[in-house]
Amino acid sequence: MAKPYLHGHHASVLRSHAWRTVENSCPYLIPYLDNPKLKILDVGCGPGTISVDFAARVPEGFVLGIDPSADVIEKARKHAEEKGITNVQFEIGDIFNWKNIAGVEEGGFDIVHAHQVLQHLQDPLGALNEMKRLTKPGGIIAIRDVDYSAMTWYPEVPGLREWLNLYIAVAKGLNCDPNIGKRLHAVAMKAGFDRTEIETSGAVWVFSTPEERAWWCGLWADRTLHSNFKNSCIDNGFATEDDLAKIADTWRELEKREDGWFSVMNGQVVCHVRLQP
């Protein structure tokens, strides 16, 4: 059985997910959204802000967002309602168990998308294989994930390096790859895509203005103290409450630094599913 999602869905986690739009989280897909009739599956949709944005961009098409968390699916439905977007539907569901999800069928989607999901799975190749099965021949799979090992910041505030090492250790302890962003194309090749069928690119989130630092550093300070990440650290003996309190202070320190800068490197792939198998 799949292990629980590392971060859980504490308010400090949702604060970062609910900020996401097509423009700030999957601009590499915009050139593929010029057909208003597209059918899109958003795997691991979280609170659904990207899915709703997709739906607004394909007014004659349809978007289905799936996520195993009932709480987050409820939030996604509410978000669509608030935005007045009706061509989107959200269902509780697991990519490894899609046969139980209403509206999900083999070869049923022009685009199958996953943003920051594969890094949290014990079997990212298995997930990509399922995504491939759900894509129409001639359609695309679009995946974007972070590479934690390529995160960088300025200045070198004491304690942040420990946070990064801790995060990577916790994720690897769950048999997940927090650095998968740099090898999404390699996973796609293992799933049977020829290298010529895979487009690769990267994109960076930068948090540097006072508002950006307050938001990013603040949410990580809160995640460190309150989300499932905290429980995973303590329960698995990676850190004590005291260590985590120091890490949260470190995030607040970077937030206060007028010259502070934090960047997040994301790997992106577009895999073209063959017309003929």
Judged by the rule CB under 6 A, the positions of this chain that interact with ligand SAM are: 2, 5, 17, 20, 25, 43-46, 50, 66-69, 72, 94-96, 115-117, 120-121
Closer residue to ligand SAM (CB): 96 or 238: 96
Give me the least distance between CB of 272 and ligand SAM, in Å please: 22
* 90/163 with CB nearer ligand SAM: 90
CB 238 within 8 A of CB 171: no
Residue nearest to ligand SAM (CB): 46
Whether the CB-CB separation of 223 and 7 falls below 8 Å is answered with: yes
In angstroms, what is the minimal distance from the CB of 206 to ligand SAM? 18
Quick check: 25 and 43 in contact, CB under 8 A? no
- What would the 3-class secondary structure string for 90-102 be? EEECCHHHHHHCC
Give 52 or 217: the residue with its C-beta nearer to ligand SAM: 52
Quickly list H helices, 227-276.
228-235, 241-256
Specify the residue for token string 């998308």: 113
In whole angstroms, how close is the CB of 68 to ligand SAM at the nearest point? Answer: 5
Which residue's CB is nearer to ligand SAM, number 50 or number 157? 50
- Of 44 and 178, nearer to ligand SAM (C-beta) is 44
Residue 205's SS3 state is strand
| Distance in Å, CB of 167 to ligand SAM, minimum | 13
* Tokens coding 70: 């009932």
In angstroms, what is the minimal distance from the CB of 134 to ligand SAM? 12
Q: Which value, to the nearest 10 degrees, does the dihedral of the CA atoms of residues 218, 182, 269, 62 take?
A: -30
